[in-house]
């Protein structure tokens, strides 16, 4: 793709593999919107179909048969334009078999474009426990995390995937480094301030914490959104601190504006300026890490 004088350079293609809701801003729906708003052409492979987020009421959950999902993956893997994909962002899965199929697809993208970025959001649970089958969570851990350049677990998911109990920032950093990917963004990491949210990015050049105020009753979809935004920022060549700061500020601002307007969903359409030019106050600090013991 080429740009014309006076126009911004085109953004690279991103493949999103995540859930699809008919109403609301969670899963693939919020990730695709954010990426397209930022200028990325998006390929979207849904894993499940729901009318809305399950937390908003009882809902039917339609999972594509594994053989059909495999067939779609095989078609995409042999596409003659697969090399255009610079990033794959994976999220909620409907079955353990999907993890194996997606792993094949990630490998195919990497073969077509060795410099591609895989961001794995290991969506599997929260403070209330696993909300996918244990076999699906294990499949994400065993098949997708080893292929990821970046993982974006929440605190519960980091504990489950690493098999560790985490009660401090230092323990979160240690678990993140043991997880495997070069960069691990721990959302809902233990914060130093009261009534604050901490996003902790553990990377090859150190750890950065981005903290902001806690917004009560935040809508769902923030994990899907920050994974997509971080992918876009890294693709743009931003350093870790800037990429984290911009992603965290955009999510915080969008959440705050949505809650202020009394919405139960993220108001991505009405408040989309927050995705492009966030102004919310987020404090970033570099974390001193204790030397690893021999």
Look up the CATH number of the domain holding residue 157: 3.40.1190.20
Question: Three-state DSSP class for 23?
Answer: coil
Q: What is the pLDDT of residue 289?
A: 78
Termini Cα distance of the chain: 49
Residue 201 within any structural domain of the chain: no
And the tokens for 84?
């255009």
Task: Give the whole-angstrom CA distance, residue 227 versus residue 89.
Answer: 7
Residue 233 within any structural domain of the chain: yes
Residue 85 within any structural domain of the chain: yes
Residue 71 within any structural domain of the chain: yes
Structural domains in the chain (count): 1
Task: Give the whole-angstrom CA distance, residue 2 versus residue 121.
Answer: 31
Backbone angles phi, psi at 129, to 5 degrees: 110, -170
In residues, how long is the chain?
Answer: 294
Residue 41 within any structural domain of the chain: yes
Among 240, 247, 161, CA closest to 202: 240
And the tokens for 265?
């969903």
Residue 258 within any structural domain of the chain: no
Running along the chain, 294 residues long, what does each successive block of 10 average in pLDDT?
59 96 94 97 96 80 93 97 97 97 98 98 94 96 98 97 95 96 95 90 95 92 97 97 97 96 94 95 88 50
Helices 66-77 and 96-112, interaxial angle, to 10°?
0
Residue 210 within any structural domain of the chain: no
Q: In what order do the strands lie in the sheet with 85-90?
A: 62-63, 42-50, 13-21, 85-90, 117-120, 150-151, 183-189, 196-203, 206-213, 283-287
Asked whether the beta carbons of 114 and 75 are under 8 A apart, the reply is no
Q: Which domain range does residue 110 map to?
A: 13-188+220-243
Q: What is the pLDDT of residue 53?
A: 82
Residue 1 within any structural domain of the chain: no
pTM assigned to the model: 0.93
Asked whether the beta carbons of 40 and 12 are under 8 A apart, the reply is yes
């Amino acid at each position: 793709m080429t740009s014309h004088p006076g126009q911004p350079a085109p953004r690279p293609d991103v493949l999103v593999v995540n859930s699809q809701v008919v109403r609301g801003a969670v899963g693939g729906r919020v990730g695709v919107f954010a990426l397209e708003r930022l200028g990325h052409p998006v390929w979207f492979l849904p894993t499940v179909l729901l009318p809305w987020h399950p937390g908003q009421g009882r809902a039917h959950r339609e999972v594509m048969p594994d053989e059909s999902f495999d067939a779609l993956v095989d078609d995409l893997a042999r596409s003659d334009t697969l090399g255009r994909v610079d990033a794959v962002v994976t999220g909620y899965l409907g079955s353990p078999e999907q993890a194996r199929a997606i792993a094949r697809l990630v490998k195919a993208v990497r073969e077509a474009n060795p410099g591609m970025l895989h961001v794995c959001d290991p969506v599997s649970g929260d403070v209330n426990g696993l909300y996918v089958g244990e076999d699906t969570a294990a499949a994400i851990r065993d098949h997708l995390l080893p292929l990821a350049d970046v993982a974006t677990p929440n605190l519960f998911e980091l504990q489950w995937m690493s098999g560790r109990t985490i009660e401090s920032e230092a323990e979160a950093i240690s678990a993140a480094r043991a997880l495997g990917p070069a960069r691990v963004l721990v959302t809902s990491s233990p914060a130093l301030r009261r009534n604050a949210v901490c996003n902790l990015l553990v990377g090859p050049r150190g750890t950065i914490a981005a903290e902001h105020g806690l917004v009560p009753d935040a809508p769902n979809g923030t994990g899907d959104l920050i994974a997509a935004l971080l992918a876009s920022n890294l693709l743009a060549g931003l350093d870790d601190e800037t990429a984290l700061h911009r992603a965290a500020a955009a999510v915080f601002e969008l959440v705050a504006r949505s809650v202020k307007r009394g919405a139960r969903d993220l108001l991505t359409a009405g408040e989309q300026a927050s995705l492009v030019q966030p102004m919310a106050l987020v404090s970033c600090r570099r974390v001193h890490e204790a030397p690893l013991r021999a």
